[in-house]
Structure 1
Amino acid sequence: MSSSTRITRLGLTLTAVGTLLVPALTAQAVPAAPAAPQASTPVPIVYPEGQTMSYVVNVGKVNHGQMLKAERAVKAAGGTVVQRWPEIGVIVVQSTKSRFLETLRADRKSGIESAGPTRTVPVSEAPGSDAGRALPPGHRKLADFEGAYTGDASPAAGTLDPFEPEQWNNAMIKADQAHKITDGDRKVTVAIVDSGIEANHPDLAQNIVPSLSVNCTGGGVTDTSATGWQATTSYHGTHVAGTVAAARNDVGMVGVAPAVKLASVKVVNDDGFIYPEYAICGIMWTAQKQIPVANHSYYVDPFEFWCGDQRDQAPVMEALRRAYAFADKRGVVSAAAAGNSAYDLANKTTNDSSPNDSTPIQRQINKTCKDLPTELPGVVTVSAVQQDGNLASFSNFGDGVIDVAAPGRSILSTVTGNRWGRASGTSMASPHVAGVLALLKGTHPNASPAQLVSLLKSQATNKPCPAGDARCTGTAQYNGFYGEGIVDALKAVQK
């Protein structure tokens, strides 16, 4: 690991000189200036001549003229515009020139604020396709799948779906009680920003809206084809979708808000990567379509933590910040998984899982380094609890970072192959929160994203830190394990 540069501030010591007759003063120690935070470790990236690399470019002023000027600079440096987002002043670019980024950054008249790579390896897919490449060693899982469920999913007598009595998770957040009042408003749609949804799953098909669904894994270009948004190699998005809105239809199980609609926004390619251009495309599509609730059960590759003090990583952070801020203005409220590394997000020190698309290195990280999108402003950060209500062993945590908690271990939901299965992860916790937000949106249709988040937090069931666990700091009303508490679906539907 390369050594990090430390920046030391100079303190001034003042000495009195002269013979003025003044009362004697007792010498006081001058407090030392606080040491500057240790810089994060740079991640070298090679730009092979002739091989296509991907970049994001952020213009300084968001207007038509500046976008055109920036695009001309991109072309002059040897780049090609793949996708443009004029609403936020972000351009997705590809280039085969090894000196492209260097040339672009040297152009002082381009109006470009920042530019940086989105990957540490060459692009493997053509724009508009989701072809990928083999997973590198150690590529992280989005969740732990426990296998297909073997219970009987056929219709049963009574008012409950067959698996509903086994859904301890819905009982914990009082969704089962909420359903006695309402299953949600069918005018509300939740964007499942994930790996795609199985279109013909018997518990999901009636709630999916194809016209609001999209595939973003072809270089960040929106693909609205009839099948592009569907699940291919991963069960993950289908599982998340079921937790939010598996239908009440006498088959399988039910979601937190079984009457609401679903939009499949595919940002996970067939190899399991969520590159920045995919994520930007996903949230921008959601914003443009004004889908009121979005769930994000992933972190943006190839870095588990993107560092703001790194010139190559900060541009992606800024592009994503702009995209999520735009979505917020368009009425989208986002819930996101806190992550599965059992990491204290409030006290970052080191990380050895990134970059995950090439060779991970041991990195020093600091407070400028963020898990994206869950640590972006306005995004609801969700930790996971297990059936006894305690924090799941895998869940990230952090005082001042976690907003709320929800069930995330051994969650029964829909999976590909027209089946059901159990999975564990904060990926499973976040959609419970998205479901509660959908219920809140139905009860408060004119509420802004900030108002919905405020309601979500104020209605959560407070949970204090477990006795003797020094990792958890805070009070019973708010702490780093559970945030404001475990979400409450019943309160969400009580006007």
Structure 2
Amino acid sequence: MLKRTIRTWRARVARRFGVPLALLGLVTGFSPLASSVAAQAGTMQNYIVLYGSSAVPADAAASIARSGGSLVYSYDQIGVAIARSDSSNFRANILKDNKVEGASATASFATKLNDDQASSADASGPPPGDLPNAPATDTDTLSPLQWDMRQIHTPEAHAITGGSPAVLVGDIDTGLDYTHPDLAQNVDDANSVNCVNNGVPVPGKVAADDDNGHGTHTAGTIAAAANGLGIVGVAPNVRIAAIKAGNADGFFFPESVVCAFVWAGTHHVNVTNNSYFADPFLFNCKNDPVQRAIWKAEQRAIRFAMQQGTVVVAAEGNESDDLSHPTQDVTSPDTEANPPARTVHNDCVVIPVEISGVIGVTGDGHNMQANGGYLKSFFSSYGVATADVVAPSGDSIFGRNAEAVNGRVLSTWPEKFKTGSLPPGRVIESCDPTAPNVCAFYAYLQGTSM
């Protein structure tokens, strides 16, 4: 994952989903940071406006205008509007509307790593009945370097099926390189979108092109094709949609995260991958009036997607924190160079992984523990109440061995970011593909009748 995508290229059930083939056979936290996100006079900013009902009222545009702003986009499905204003009094003014439950400027709420208002109307989902399936091979040029796939036994699973093209995965990330030879055949243009434009969806794979690299890397772990070139993903036959919510600097602003999940829900995405935390706070505190509006808007969007049948998979993070017993946050807001340490408790959560119903993933390397099982990656966060599964993420310190020489995981990378030190096939070794592994596994399962 990225630096801000749960830090530097960032168990409800504490057991691994390590063998897909076998499974196929089978107290108030005080936040001193509220003042740091106050609106600055004369600075145009985006705002999340959270309404008390589950719909945006008909007079929202007029109310926002009276408060000194303009309506950018309405997410009527979840009662959230995106507004813009350069007034330092906008939040105070809009909160006078008794229909508004909360509001917050979003500029300081990005998780770090055009103007067309696209329709978010329903798109058709997979056809009913049996889904098409075909086996896949693991004999691509760089397959011998994919220790992570052998750890979870994907070659054995691929002998049965490589997943179904009727299954749609949404990679909520920084976009993906739709021209990449290991991804191009599986990219779904119609269901791809760029949500970075103030939370307004701009559809298509071109709009969702990756200008950071992180999204292309996660996409390869999920759905790199078995085509004789480069690597093979966990589910090489599924379709993958780029849902671009992270910008070129790797920030995931709240309006983009809301846009991404509403898009996933309305476009019947079967499963989403989320290898980031929603900026700028690693821990969003529900009892902070500013952070609460952001937390609740994102929660509504995530729940909306899940209510439409979307499985949401998210990484625990790369902070080596126990998310079930947090004590302090030394990362937030990550829009600041040297953020102050703040005390946090269980009323402060990491989004999206700590939203109820989200499948949380922690990571391991490739060295065994004395009592069995692989060692947890040194950087991977965890939590008995948040981590549901474990997947390979690499470990450059404790995960090196003859098979994993540098302990890292190989995946796809955009040509435009390639350096002379990279191996052929537009790939790079890095961390942390925990969530993409599990996301792809769920996509794989949805394409089988087993």
Note if 1:246 corresponds to 2:224. Answer: yes
Question: Which residue of the partner structure matches residue 356 of structure 2?
Answer: 377
Highest relative contact order (Cα 8 Å, sep 6+), 1 or 2? 2
Give, in angstroms, the shift of residue 159 of structure 1.
6.5
Question: Alpha-carbon deviation of 1:309?
Answer: 0.8
- Corresponding residue SS for 2:299: helix
Q: Secondary structure at the match of 1:309?
A: coil
SS in 2 for 1:273: coil
Structure 1 counterpart of 2:329, one-letter code: N
What residue in structure 1 maps to residue 440 of structure 2?
435
Separation in structure 1 between the aligned mates of residue 109 and residue 223 of structure 2, nearest angstrom? 37
- How far is the alpha carbon of 1:42 from its aligned partner? 3.6
Alignment of 1:338-487 (within 5 A): 338-359=316-337, 360-388=339-367, 389-409=374-394, 410-417=408-415, 419-425=426-432, 428-444=433-449
Number of the residue aligned with 1:210: 189
Unaligned runs of 5+ in 1: 1-35, 130-157, 445-494
Q: What amino acid sits opposite 1:185 in the alignment?
A: S
Contact 1:268 1:274 in 2 (8 A): yes
Q: Which residue pairs with 1:476 in the alignment?
A: none
Tell me the secondary structure at the aligned position of residue 211 of structure 1: coil
Q: How many residue pairs align between the two structures?
A: 372
2:48 to 45, 56, 69: 56
Cα deviation 1:86-124 (Å, max 9, x = unaligned): 01111011111111111111333xx112212222399xx
| Structure 2 contact 109–333 (Cα < 8 Å) conserved | no
Matched, 1:191 2:170: yes
- What is the CA–CA distance in structure 2 between the aligned matches of 1:175 and 1:81, rounded to whole Å? 47
CA distance in 1, matches of 2:59, 2:240: 39
- Residues 1:396 and 1:241: Cα distance change in structure 2 (over 3 Å): same
Structure-2 separation of matches of 1:246 and 1:387: 22
* Aligned: 1:43 with 2:34: yes
- SS of equivalent to 2:434: helix
Q: Please identify, of 99-108 and 404-413, the stretch whose mean Cα deviation from structure 2 is larger.
A: 99-108
Q: For residue 169 of structure 2, give the secondary structure of its aligned residue in structure 1.
A: strand
SS at match of 2:219: helix
Cα distance in 2 for partners of 1:294, 1:275 equals 18
Contact 2:47/2:105, CA 8 A, preserved across alignment: yes
Q: Distance in 1 between matches of 2:53 and 2:376?
A: 44
Q: Which residue of 2 aligns with 1:294?
A: 272
Query: Residues 64-213 of structure 1: matches in 2 within 5 Å?
Result: 67-108=57-98, 111-120=99-108, 160-213=139-192
Flag the 1:48–1:200 CA change in 2: closer, same or farther, 3 A. same
Give 3-state SS (helix, strand or coil) of 1:412's partner: strand
User: In 1, Cα distance between the equivalents of 2:138 and 2:146?
Assistant: 15
Q: Which amino acid aligns with 1:416?
A: P
Deviations 1:321-343 (A, max 9, x none): 11111101111101111110111
2:101 alignment partner AA: E
- Is the contact between residue 334 and residue 380 of structure 1 (CA under 8 Å) also seen in structure 2? yes
Distance in 2 (alpha carbons) for counterparts of 1:159 and 1:235: 24
Q: Give the conservation status (yes or no) of the 8 Å contact 2:28–2:347.
A: no
User: How many angstroms apart in 2 are the aligned matches of 1:159 and 1:240?
Assistant: 18
> Could you tell me how far 1:346 is from its partner in structure 2?
0.8
Aligned counterpart, 1:19: none
Describe the SS at the equivalent of 2:63: helix
Larger radius of gyration: 1
C-alpha distance in 1 between matches for 2:78 and 2:34: 27
Between the aligned partners of 2:29 and 2:267, the Cα distance in structure 1 is 42
Q: 1:81 to 1:299 in 2, by over 3 A?
A: same
Cα contact 1:59–1:70 (8 A) shared by 2 = no
- In 2, are the aligned partners of 1:42 and 1:310 still within 8 Å (CA)? no
| Counterpart-to-counterpart distance in 1, 2:62 and 2:216 | 41
Is residue 51–residue 100 contact of structure 2 (8 Å, CA) maintained in 1? yes
Equivalent-residue separation in structure 1 for 2:38 and 2:292 (angstroms):
18
* Residue identity in the other structure for 2:225: A
Kindly indicate whether the alpha-carbon contact (under 8 Å) linking 2:189 and 2:204 is maintained by their aligned counterparts in 1.
no
Tell me by how many angstroms 1:356 deviates.
Answer: 1.4
Cα RMSD for the two superposed structures: 1.9
Q: Hey, what's the Cα distance between the residues in 2 that align with 1:38 and 1:121?
A: 18
Post-superposition offset of 1:176:
1.1
For residues 279 and 226 of structure 1, the distance between their equivalents in structure 2, rounded to whole angstroms, comes to 18
Q: 1:236 to 1:128 in 2, by over 3 A?
A: farther
Q: Kindly state the Cα deviation for residue 41 of structure 1 after the two structures are TM-superposed.
A: 3.1
Residues 128 and 219, structure 1, Cα contact 8 Å, conserved in 2: no
Deviation (angstroms), 1:225:
5.1
Asked if 2 retains the 8 angstrom alpha-carbon contact of 1:56 and 1:90, the reply is: yes
Cα distance change on mapping 1:92 and 1:395 into 2, 3 Å? same
Supply the distance in 1 between the matched residues of 2:100 and 2:115 (Cα, whole angstroms).
Answer: 23
Give the secondary-structure state (helix, strand or coil) at the position aligned to 2:196. Answer: strand
The Cα shift of 1:160 comes to: 1.2
> Counterpart amino acid of 1:413?
S
- Equivalents in 2 of 1:215, 1:278: separation in Å? 9
Q: Would the alpha carbon gap of residues 128 and 407 (structure 1) be closer, same or farther in structure 2, given more than 3 Å must change?
A: farther
Partner in structure 2 of residue 259 of structure 1? 237
Counterparts of 1:301 and 1:128 in 2: how far apart (Å)? 25
Shift of 1:128: 6.5
What is the Cα deviation at residue 38 of structure 1?
4.8
Relative to the length of structure 1, the TM-score reads 0.72
Work out the percentage of aligned pairs sharing the same amino acid.
Answer: 34
Instruction: Measure how far apart 1:57 and its partner are.
Output: 1.1
8 Å Cα contact 2:60-2:71 kept in structure 1: no
Structure 2 residue matching 1:67: 3-state secondary structure: coil
